[in-house]
Amino acid sequence: MLRVIRRAGSCLKEFLGEFVGEVVLTVAACLVVAGLALAFVRGWQRGPLVTGGVGGALLLLLVYGGWELLCPSRPGRRGPLAGAATAAFVLAVLLLVHGWPCDCL
């Protein structure tokens, strides 16, 4: 009987840990998405040309990161820009997945 209670407690502990982790990740993604949207709006009000240029450069970086992740040129020959672009792409995808259901905007 004690073994059953321990297993149930272990399952409950694991479930609560995953639930809390998911909530924290979703809230963080929502805050980051809201912060990026606010930064874009404020930047557009101050200087649309600079904001468009930075947005375009960021979009190119994300496209390059996705390309390097999905279609690498040669194994082992990546430079630091390719690594940073791939990390930015993965982070953007994670933010998109966890920030999409967010109704904070």
Domain map (residue ranges) of the chain: 28-99
pLDDT band at 2 (very low <50, low <70, confident <90, very high): low
**Model pTM score:** 0.67
Phi first, then psi, for residue 104 (nearest 5°) are -80, -15
Check: CB of residue 68 under 8 Å from CB of residue 82: yes
Give me the half-sphere count of Cα atoms (radius 13 Å) on the Cβ side of residue 67.
11
User: Given pLDDT bands bounded at 50, 70 and 90, which one contains residue 105?
Assistant: very low
- Distance from CA of residue 5 to its chain's centroid? 38
Residue pLDDT, tens place only, 58-83: 999 999 998 888 886 666 667 888 88
> What CA–CA distance (Å, rounded) separates 72 from 51?
30
For residue 81, the model assigns a pLDDT of 85
Tokens of 47: 């200087």
